[in-house]
Amino acid sequence: MKQKLIFLWHVLIFNIIKPLPNSSDYFNRYFQLPTQNLSDHNSHYKRIVKFGKEQSGWAGVLLANIALMFFCLPICFSADLVIHSVYLLSIKISINVILVLIMLGKFDMLRFRDNQSFLKLFYLFSCLVSSSYWTLTCLFLAAFENIVL
């Protein structure tokens, strides 16, 4: 139980410091698997989920996803409420730009090392153009990261 709580704590801290320059040192220190069966193409999200699975099985996968979505889902839900209730176009555009930046950072979409990044970018762009709900977009991108465990 203590190991799972420590893992959860490290994921929450990584969520906060991910935009900072030294976050890769923190990531490498706390989320390296001994077998290292992961490629460099995997996003941080996918690597943390795989680390959770290796350490604690499917409970670790569930904990990793909850911790990784802990800040993102409430922000997306709040943004959906604001976007679909406000009529000012400038507010809608500002919120959409902020959420696109959050999604780009959260799901490592700007790492153009494989086709998955392009697929995620295409999905994000199509959701932006179609005025999709950000909560669903976030959940679908998280599900996409969990497909190949």
Q: What is the pLDDT of residue 133?
A: 92
- E strands of 1-125, at which residues? none
Residues 6+ apart with CB under 8 A from 83: 92, 95, 96, 131, 134
Query: What phi-psi label fits residue 131: left (phi over 0), alpha (psi between -120 and 50 degrees) or beta?
Result: left
**pLDDT number for residue 40:** 58
For residue 23, give the H/E element and its range. helix 23-30
DSSP per-residue string spanning 14-52? HHHHTTSTTHHHHHHHHS--SS----TTS-HHHHHHHHH
Q: CB of 49 within 8 A of CB of 64?
A: yes
Return the closest-CA partner of residue 134 out of 107, 102, 110. Answer: 102
Identify the residue with better confidence: 149 or 57. Answer: 57
Is the confidence at residue 38, as pLDDT, over 60? no
Per-chain mean pLDDT for the chain: 88
Q: What is the pLDDT of residue 20?
A: 84
In this predicted model, which residue has the larger pLDDT, 36 or 98?
A: 98
Q: In the prediction, which pLDDT does 101 show? A: 93
What pLDDT, on a 0 to 100 scale, did the predictor assign at position 36?
56
pLDDT tens for 110-142 read 877 777 888 899 999 999 898 889 999 999 999
pLDDT digits (tens, 9 = 90+) for 70-119: 999 999 999 999 999 999 999 999 999 999 999 998 888 887 777 788 88
pLDDT of residue 4: 87
pLDDT band at 41 (very low <50, low <70, confident <90, very high): low
Q: What is the pLDDT of residue 37?
A: 55
Write down the domain spans for the chain.
2-68, 72-145
Q: How far apart are CA 47 and CA 100, in angstroms?
A: 22
